[in-house]
Amino acid sequence: MRTVHWLFVVSVALFVTGIGFVIAAGRSGPQAAAANEVPAVVPVPVASIKQIMAGITGPAATVVYNAVGTVINIEGVTEIAPENDEEWAAVAASAGALVESGNLLLMGSRVLDDGDWVTMAQALIETGTVALRAAEAQSADGIMGSGGDINETCDNCHAKYQRQ
């Protein structure tokens, strides 16, 4: 009888310890998940639209426009395209900057209206993304096609919002 009583006490102790571990695991689970989460930060616009255009959008678009082309002169025909991974990476970085500049134009007080401004900024994001994918694929034809689309997107926006 004494052996049965001792086994019962050990079983109860193990059961209670197991319940304690389950409760402890339940409490530490959400805390551990919260530690891995990125804190919510609300971005605050600092630069003006003009500064974004001069510092990000314009230079990035110039790199994409000048990355691929054909020069015809008295010496003959010369094809221009990035020649190595580093040059393609530079074009991709500039295309990515175009995409991000479109995102910046949709932040806070930079949104001039809820209609055409948003549509045109989204068009910049989309055409920049096409250029980014073309640069990542090292496609000269893709860059050539996306450059025309980016130019058209910029021209349409500037026609309405007069380079302020």
Residues whose CB falls within 8 Å of the CB of residue 41, separated by 6 or more in sequence, listed in order: none
> What would the pLDDT profile of 49-107 be if each residue is shown by its tens digit?
999 999 999 999 999 999 998 889 998 888 999 999 999 999 999 999 999 999 999 99
Q: What is the DSSP string of 88-144?
A: HHHHHHHHHHHHHHHHHTTSGGG---SSHHHHHHHHHHHHHHHHHHHHHTT-HHHHH
Average pLDDT of 130-141?
96
pTM of the model: 0.72
Residues whose CB falls within 8 Å of the CB of residue 144, separated by 6 or more in sequence, listed in order: 68, 69
Confidence label for 113 from pLDDT (cuts 50, 70 and 90): confident
Contact 77, 71 (CB under 8 A): yes
| Size of the chain, expressed as the number of residues it contains | 164
